[in-house]
Amino acid sequence: MIEATVKQTLKKIGLNKKEKILVALSGGKDSSVVAYLLKKLGYNIEGIHINLHMGNYSEKCLEATKKLCKQLEIKLHIYDIKEKMGSSMCYIRGSIQQEKGLKNCAICGVIKKWILNKAARELHADKIATGHHLDDEIQTFMLNIFKGSPELNANTGAINRNAEKKEFVPRIKPLFYVLEDDIREYSKKMKLPAVYEKCPCAIDSYRIQIRDFISSLSRKEKENIMKNFEQILKKLPRQNNNVKTCKICGEPSRNNICRMCQLMKIRK
Ligand code: AMP
Ligand code: ZN
């Protein structure tokens, strides 16, 4: 069932078996299933794990990732945030939050995206694959609706709609149409090495409230939300695609200074 859905999604994306795909492996079940299925379907993949150094949780994630890559016989690249940025994610986030009351997941998300795009370009990867699934996408979609900013959904999809800009390595989500419960079941059935607990720092209460509400919905209701989402998506104008170069780090950005460097400037 999952396999058929993923195959269809990859067909829709138009993924080519010669392309080099860098799978962003968190150590969790979602990205482990992505790597497992892409490998099984004969795609050319390598893995990348960002060690965020968030205590015992990060250690378990790193171990699970190493085990998975060994089992699947894929090359693993490790980006050590302490080595490259001088401190753990908790510390970086704390110093930013003292200045701006930004949410944990928002800060972590910006930093991870910046790292993944830069690493994928340096490794000459054609695509980055993540473990985002249907529940994640519905959550973000609803959050943007509640924020009154549906246009923020404009670039989402199984492949991000900035794909044609060469500075941004296109990000794909092979599990875009798969529900989290089905992924959990599949990962357990296949006995994949994976950490099943949630990130201990995901304490954005608003997002959690929405996540809990969505998880109370039936399968049919979730699928209906996605149908609405896709209809609305067709009508939304694309977000500004004007890519500039960040004046501080040289990475691609929509502004003169990228979001990552804006955060780092705040950091004390
Ligand atoms: P999250 O935002 O934590 O739900 O993660 C969404 C996706 O981002 C995961 O399925 C992974 O593909 C990727 N990701 C999250 N954390 C990491 C990490 N530490 N290293 C590499 N990829 C990650
Ligand atoms: Zn920058």
Q: 170-212, pLDDT tens digit by residue?
A: 999 999 999 999 999 999 999 999 999 988 888 777 888 888 9
| Residue to mutate (ligand 1; options 78, 85, 111, 112; most atoms within 8 A of CB) | 112
Query: How much distance in Å is there from the Cα of 47 to the middle of ligand 1?
Result: 12
26 lines ligand 1 (CB under 6 A): yes
Residue type, 8: Q
30 lines ligand 1 (CB under 6 A): yes
| Nearest-ligand number for the alpha carbon of 31 | 1
Q: What is the DSSP letter of 169?
A: P
Higher-confidence residue: 101 or 119?
Answer: 119
Q: What is the model's pTM?
A: 0.94
CA atoms within 13 A on the CB side of 24: 23
Ligand 1, residue 131: give the atom nearest the CA: 10
Q: What is the DSSP letter of 238?
A: P
What is the token pair recorded at 34?
């992505």
Share of the chain above pLDDT 70, in %: 96
Cβ 37 vs Cβ 62: under 8 Å: no
Q: How far is CA 71 from CA 48, 75, 189, in A?
A: 15, 11, 16
* pLDDT tens for each residue of 62-107: 999 999 999 999 999 999 999 999 999 988 888 888 777 788 888 8
180 lines ligand 1 (CB under 6 A): no
193 lines ligand 1 (CB under 6 A): no
Neighbours of 218 (CB within 10 A): 8
Query: How much distance in Å is there from the Cα of 264 to the middle of ligand 2?
Result: 9
Q: Nearest CA to 264 among 66, 115, 72?
A: 115
Ligand 1, residue 136: give the atom nearest the CA: 4
* pLDDT tens for each residue of 142-181: 888 888 887 888 878 898 866 567 788 999 999 999 999 9
